[in-house]
Structures are given as structure tokens and as C-alpha cells.
Structure 1
Amino acid sequence: MTLLADRHGRTFPYLRLSLTEACNYRCSYCLPDGWRADGGPRFLDADEVRRLVSAFAGLGMWKIRLTGGEPSLRKDLTAIIATVAATPGVRKIALTTNGCRLSRHLPRWRAAGLTALNVSLDSLDRERFRAITGRDRHDDVLAGVDQALAMGFDAVKLNAVLLRGINDDELPRWLDWLRDRPLALRFIELMRTGDNGEYFERHHLGADVIEDRLRAAGWTPCPRAPDAGPAREYSHPDYAGRIGLIAPYSKDFCVGCNRLRVTARGDLRLCLFGDFGVPLRPLLREDGQRDELMQRIRALLGHKAAGHFLHEGKTGITPHLASVGG
């Protein structure tokens, strides 16, 4: 099947689907005051998710990432994973989570069809973790990560937002931790959103700082998989783990874009930092609208820009990353 393609020659095997905007953390860079319901439309229900994923799979998308907010807050998450896994054409189902509920739910998610896992872990230091997230769940997250490694997932990855003056001195500790753990740690540059301008100015640090240290220590670039996210990954023969760098302010970051996003309320976002979203929900209310939905998605892809405008200080309509799943 021919993949979706835009007018810039990029193809799209990968959908990031937010299931909720709610989050039980208070991360300093995202939701420092916690999440509050805004009285807007409810989030997509399981049937709407089924219809949506079926349409995107019909357009050749074969990797689906379920995100939030924090998707484990959905009581029907296991059923949603099973529904996505049963969709013809879908080959990979990933989940991005803050990890606080891994130990309790991971076996049932795996049994439902989950194939890959991304866990947010901004520090290996328990007190720093608590200061960043507002929650003392560090031990729970680490236990869940080790459990995931023992369960045979296709991929286990950790996401750490790189914060100048807060966690940017932890590379040696991370390297020791990765020596015997076959997972990928990705350092993510802090991104400016509508709500975090002052925080961004204080704590943004370019990923090239970490990249220079890795190269000097003998780490070498890895080939990029067709369905990979935006991380530039590095490996070292002395380490079981890999390190990735997600650097949205780097030159040509958007050239390799291969993913689309749908918000928890059913809006298609062509770019994380775009200035508009297009409601797909009117075509998700009943079966029988799949062909029309597929046609709309194809047409909308023609409006995808060549890149974001973060360098110009334009963050689009994204107030914070929890609103669309990153």
C-alpha cells in the first residue's frame, strides 16, 4: 500500500493519537499548576478511536502511538490497545506514559497487543525527579521500566527533557545506568509552548551540548528506521543501551517528519506547533463514514508546511505539550 505523502516528498507511516489531556503530574516545564478540566468536549470514546485508527490504517499508517496527557488515566486503555491491535494494517502499537502505573497495568497492556513503550523519566535522582514532576513516584517508574525490559517489548525508550541548571549534569550517571540496560534514552530539548516562555528562557539547552560529549566519548550515529521518531540515536560497543537526541531547533529538523497527530478531542494536527487543527470528529460518530474520512485526511495533508516556526518564537496553538501529547 502506498503511504500518505505530502507536497514536500515526506511519507507518513506514523500516527500519534492523544487519548486524554489530563495528567496526574505537575511537571515544571508543562503543567506546573496541574491539569484542570476546561469544560470542553469530552475526549474521543473507544468507538471513535476505532473508526479513526481504521481510516488512518486504510491510508497506509502502520504505527500508532497512544499518548496523553497521561493515557493510563483512561479506564478503558486496555480495551483501546486491543482495538488498535485488531485493526488490519497496524503492525506497531506504542504507548507514551509517565510510568507511574506501569507495574500495575503493564502485563494486561502487553497481553492486549502493546508492542513498544516510551516512559518519561527526567532524572535518575529521586529528589530532582520529585522537584520536576511534583510527584514522589521515582521508585515506581524505575520498577516499571525494569519490568518492561523483562517482558520482551520490541522497544523500551525513556524520555528526559533536557533542562539547563536542573538535570544537565546527569550524563555520567545515565551512562552508568545504560551500560547493562538494552533501551534507548532520548534527551529532548525543552520546547517553547504558549504557556512556558519565561521557563524556556531560563532552562533551554541545545541538544548539541550532549551530542558533542557523546561523540568525544566514542559514541557513533545509528541508522534511522523508517518508522522512527525524530531522535538522532547513538550507540557504543561498551553499552547495552543507546542515546537519542531530539533537537527541534536544529537545522532541517522537519525534513524527516513522518507523523501526524490527532488530539484527544479529534482534531487533526499536521504539526505539533501548527497554528490550526481540523476537526475529524464529525466523521467519527458512526460506522460507514470511513471513505469520506480518508478523503478528508488526504486533502488536508496538502496543507502541511515544510517546517515549524519555533526559531521565530511562534509556538502555534499548543499551550502546553499535555494538550496534544508531544
Structure 2
Amino acid sequence: LSHIGMRQERIVDIDSNRPFTGQFYDTFNRKHDYLRISLTERCNLRCFYCMPSEGIELSPDGKLLTNDEVFRLAKLFVKSGITKIRLTGGEPTVRKGIMELMGKFNELKQHGLKALAMTTNGIALHRRLPAFVENGLTHLNLSLDTLDPFKFEIITRRRGHDAVLKSLDTALSLPMDSIKLNVVVIRGLNDSEVLEFVKLTQDKPISVRFIEFMPFTGNKWDKKKMVPSSELLERIRMEYPTIQRASDELNDTARSWYIPGFAGSFGFISSMSDHFCGTCNRLRLTADGQIKVCLFDPKEISLRDVMRAGACDEDLLRVIHQAVLGKKAKHAGMEDIDVVTNRPMILIGG
């Protein structure tokens, strides 16, 4: 029990030495300035690593945050030091009123918001993307795990490969600060396509990010299917021996590389084999109003319930602050994460 007492003393000590400014520091002095907001639990794909094969039980509409509630919390977070917001899901583009909500988020740039990002599967995006950019979208992450239309249907249990590629082309024609492709790599399924994805960066100014297969409830994670980033890097190095390390942005989860003469870059999100917890600056807000301070920690606190009980902004801030203080130094190892009961990825927010 001594370690618990020491941790409590540490929290008290930090609380007494740092006046509460609304900025979110944990007990390891990590400042949190990045908020990921899940706008919906619904999705128009059924990717097996995200959604259990038996499906999920959606929250009743009354338990989901309304647009006004989402904006109230977003504004509070931004005024308290959040400089980047990423909209996720489910699939964020299926959220009713997303265009108007994005326009309101754009107004937060006068309060310190610097980046408004979205992670999407791109299925229903290309026609709406110009309007999203007009309403303040600055960064786009497209989920695309394969360049093979047949494999796409195996992974997503739906059609739509062409639509995603069309969304990528549309994004490249628009004034955006960043366009990234998220590729979840699974041994025996799409790991043979890594070099093809790298080749995309020859002519396209995009960043391809290879993501290690992560365990979540219902996704049948198997360590044997997880390809360590170090293995992928060696495969790429054998084909492109001139690859060079790129300078990563502060708090970036990806370790980035580039090939001289190529327009884009590629990187690795090695959550399983080489975690990046030491520089984590992220908080998550689920579609049903729970704050999660770590993707792999099942613990969550309902801001929705606090808000609907009549809490003022200062009360909400203190609840958020206490949640952040409970953040651990790092997540458990991959075997331990595999046995922890957590939400399916689709209910957390990608």
C-alpha cells in the first residue's frame, strides 16, 4: 500500500504547488492539449478490428451528447489549453448536424484552437470535404488498410474501396495542413502491402502511418497477427536503403521516415511493441459523454451526467482535472491489455 500513499502524496504536492489554471497536467507533469471527440457510435463499415462480429449495442439517443453539449465541452476544453481537436467515431461523417457543429468548432480558433482534425473511413466524404475545409477542417486522417478492393471487403465487411480513394484525391486538391493514411497492419492479411503503401508517398504529399494491431473487446486480437513496427521498418529498408528518419512533431505518436526525393513520408504507431506513453498529451471524449484519459484504460468518468445535473463550467473543469490526475505513467503490456475489459474500439473513438 506504500506506493498508493506515495502517489496520493505526489498528487497533493503537485496540487499545492501549481495553481489550478484550467490547463490539464497529470502527476507526471504531462500537459494535455489534444482532445479527441467521438461524435457517434455508428459507422457505415464493419471493420473486424474495430467492431465485434456480433455487432454492438448502441447507446440510446438520450444518453448521447447533443450538439450543444458537445460544443459546450469543446469550448471549455479549448479555453483550458486544448489546441487541437480531432473528430472521430464510429464514423464522424454520419453524425447529424456535423457541418454546423464543425462551423462552431471553427469559431474556437479565436480562443486558442489551432487545429481541427478528423479521422474518417472516407466512404461518404468526397462530396462534403470541400465544405468541411471551408468550415475549418485543417487535418485529415483517412483509414485505408488495403489497396486491394477484395481485401477491403474482407476487412470492412462492406464495399466502398473506390469511394475512399476518391476522398483521398479530393483531399489532395484542397488546402489542408496534413493528409494521412492510417493502415492497421495484420499479419497474413495486409502486411504484404506495406511496400505498395510506401510507394504511394513517391508522388503524393501524404503521410502513411502503419499501426500495430491492438487488442480491444471483441476484435479477436492475437499476438501472432501483430507485426512489430521494427519488422516493417526492416522490410522497407531492404527495398529502400536510403530511407531517413524525419523529425517528429512534439507529442506525435508516429515515428516518421521518408525516402529522399519522395513527396510524402511514412511512419509507425507502435502502441504494442514500443509505447509512447511518456509524451502522451491526449484526452478522449466518447459519444456518450465519458472522459477517458487513456485509450487502454477502461476507467472513465461521465461528464454528461455531471453536466446534466446542472454543473457549472468550474465544476466540470474540476472533474476533468481530477480525471487527468488519475492517469497512469503508461499502459500495461500487450498481454495484460488483451485481458482487460474495455469498450470495443468503435465505442471509444478511433
Same fold by TM (over 0.5)?
yes
Q: Secondary structure at the match of 1:141?
A: helix
Matched, 1:63 2:84: yes
Q: Cα RMSD between the aligned structures?
A: 2.0
Decide whether the 8 Å contact of 2:284 with 2:292 is kept in 1.
yes
Which residue of 234, 244, 247 corresponds with 1:220?
Answer: 244
Decide whether the 8 Å contact of 1:24 with 1:35 is kept in 2.
no
Q: What residue number does 2:46 align with?
A: 26
C-alpha distance in structure 2 between counterparts of 1:117 and 1:84, whole Å: 15
C-alpha distance in structure 2 between counterparts of 1:5 and 1:221, whole Å: 30
TM-score, normalised to structure 2, is 0.87
Q: Deviations over 1:168-206 (max 9, x none)?
A: 011222232221000111010000112124x42452211
C-alpha distance in structure 2 between counterparts of 1:318 and 1:81, whole Å: 29
Matched, 1:103 2:123: no
The 10-residue stretch of structure 1 (314-323 or 126-135) with the greater mean CA deviation from structure 2: 314-323
Q: What residue number does 1:120 align with?
A: 143
How far did residue 214 of structure 1 move? 3.4
C-alpha distance in structure 2 between counterparts of 1:142 and 1:207, whole Å: 25
How many residues are treated as equivalent by the alignment? 324
Structure 2 letter corresponding to 1:205: V
Decide whether the 8 Å contact of 2:244 with 2:260 is kept in 1.
no
Which residue of 167, 176, 181 corresponds with 1:144?
Answer: 167
Matched, 1:85 2:109: no
Decide whether the 8 Å contact of 2:206 with 2:265 is kept in 1.
yes
Matched, 1:159 2:179: no
Which residue of 153, 159, 163 corresponds with 1:130?
Answer: 153
Decide whether the 8 Å contact of 2:251 with 2:279 is kept in 1.
no
Q: Secondary structure at the match of 1:170?
A: helix
Q: What residue number does 2:270 align with?
A: 247
C-alpha distance in structure 2 between counterparts of 1:288 and 1:111, whole Å: 34
Identity of counterpart residues, as a percentage? 36
How far did residue 287 of structure 1 move? 8.7
Q: Deviations over 1:92-134 (max 9, x none)?
A: 1000101001112111111111111111000011111111111
Decide whether the 8 Å contact of 1:58 with 1:294 is kept in 2.
no
Matched, 1:169 2:192: yes
| 1:286–1:194 Cα change, 3 Å | closer
Decide whether the 8 Å contact of 2:185 with 2:226 is kept in 1.
yes
How far did residue 299 of structure 1 move? 2.1
Consecutive unaligned residues of structure 2, counting only runs of 5 or more, are: 1-20
Decide whether the 8 Å contact of 2:201 with 2:265 is kept in 1.
yes
C-alpha distance in structure 1 between counterparts of 2:318 and 2:52, whole Å: 40
TM-score, normalised to structure 1, is 0.93
How far did residue 227 of structure 1 move? 5.4
Consecutive unaligned residues of structure 1, counting only runs of 5 or more, are: none
Q: Secondary structure at the match of 1:17?
A: strand
Q: What residue number does 1:10 align with?
A: 30
